Chains A and B, each alone.
Chain A
Amino acid sequence: MDYKELSQRYLDATESLADKKQLSEILDNTNSLTFEQRALQAMQRYNRRQTHVGTTINTHTSTTLRWQLAAAAAACCAIIIGVAIHLSRPTVYCYYNGRPITSLAEAEGHAQRVINELCVAELTTDEDMLYNMFRME
């Protein structure tokens, strides 16, 4: 495509980005320019120069928040683990010879055995027991 067609497209705003680039190249590589070509070249150069204008604003990701989140997550995990351990600990029903008994059936068995081993003859009536308790020597 020649200069005339490209410039017409540019001025009619029917150009593509490739056409715009091509027009810019043609104008930069032409030695003797007409007034119109100089005007178009100035516009193209101004556009190119403007694309270098920028801002100093930047993103900043705070690491403090990450540490805070990590600490909070660790604390939550510790609490959950603690509660889980506490709930999974077995219930101690009694101690037999200093050993904790965590099985209900075993505890009942030991209790039954202790009752059976008691000597019936040693048991006294209620009156005897009260008498022994309040007897004045």
Chain B
Amino acid sequence: MLQSGGFCVLYTNRKHRQAAPKPKPMTSEEFNNEFLHLKDAAFRYAVALLHNYAAAEDATQDLYEKLWRRRLLIRKNGFQALVMTSMRNLCLDRLRHKPFTPLENITTHPTAPPESDRDMADLVQRLINDLPDREREVIHLRDIEEFEYDQIATITGTSEAAARMACSRARNRVKEQLVKIINHGL
């Protein structure tokens, strides 16, 4: 009786699996379209992780070369998350082997309260770059790339609650620092 019940469950599971529509693999044309749509986001994410434009460009190129070779195995669904997760892994791997020299414009420290929009933007960038890695990553994915928190959790390998927590902490930290600088200067 138990065995037949078990068989029934297995049978219905298999039936259910067969009924689910299987996403098609990506063609070259689809890959090109998705690539054009995502390449800047992937590049910006690489810059945020590596702190170096040239290295970020290399990483983007290498990632897409790898993905291009496997384009017939890649499914169209979830391509965005796949690209960002792969980019993250690639960048972390590179950072482990060779730390890059930081960007030039984040080494400038303003001594007076910022006046122009450009000064403010540079200041925000510096403050974001001073954040811990996880917080910087999350704030970048949410505020610049506008990913949903569940997608961020998938990309960074954490839970949605942890992603929200990191983002909140990062925003509060940047805001407090900014208020302090606007009010008093450094």
A residues near B (Cβ < 8 Å) are 10-14, 17, 20, 35-36, 38-40, 42-43, 45-47, 49-51, 53-59, 61
Report the 10 A-B pairs with minimum CB-CB distance, sorted nearest first: A39-B178, A54-B40, A55-B43, A13-B168, A46-B124, A13-B167, A42-B120, A13-B164, A47-B143, A50-B144
B28 within 8 A of A: yes
Chain B neighbourhood of A38, CB < 8 A: 178, 182
For the complex with contacts A12-B164, A54-B44, A57-B60, 9 further pairs of A-B residues with Cβ separation under 8 Å are: A13-B165, A35-B182, A36-B175, A39-B175, A39-B178, A42-B120, A43-B178, A53-B43, A55-B57
Q: Residue on A with the closest CB to B145?
A: A51
Q: Residue on B with the closest CB to A12?
A: B168
Tell me if B's interface is mostly helix, strand, loop or mixed.
helix
User: How many contacts between A and B, using CB within 8 angstroms?
Assistant: 85
Of A11, A42, A55, the residue contacting B168 (CB under 8 A) is: A11
Chain B neighbourhood of A56, CB < 8 A: 57
Whether A42 and B149, one on each chain, are in contact in the complex, defined by CB atoms closer than 8 angstroms, is: no
Whether A13 and B121, one on each chain, are in contact in the complex, defined by CB atoms closer than 8 angstroms, is: no
Whether B28 and A61, one on each chain, are in contact in the complex, defined by CB atoms closer than 8 angstroms, is: yes
Q: Can you identify 7 A-B contacts, CB atoms within 8 angstroms?
A: A10-B171, A13-B142, A20-B143, A35-B183, A39-B182, A45-B120, A54-B43
Within the assembled complex, what's the spacing in Å between the Cα atoms of A122 and B47? 107
Q: How many positions in chain B have a CB within 8 Å of any CB in the partner chain?
A: 39
Chain A neighbourhood of B149, CB < 8 A: 13
Q: How far is the CB of A51 from chain B (nearest CB, A)?
A: 6
Within the assembled complex, what's the spacing in Å between the Cα atoms of A61 and B142? 33
Chain A neighbourhood of B57, CB < 8 A: 55-57
B32 within 8 A of A: yes
- Contacts A53-B44, A55-B39, A59-B32; A43 near B164 (Cβ below 8 A): no
Q: Residue on A with the closest CB to B35?
A: A59
Q: Residue on A with the closest CB to B47?
A: A53
B36 within 8 A of A: yes
Chain B neighbourhood of A12, CB < 8 A: 164, 168
Chain A neighbourhood of B117, CB < 8 A: 42, 45
B158 within 8 A of A: no
B179 within 8 A of A: yes
Chain B neighbourhood of A61, CB < 8 A: 28, 32
B125 within 8 A of A: yes
- Contacts A54-B39, A55-B43; A35 near B179 (Cβ below 8 A): yes
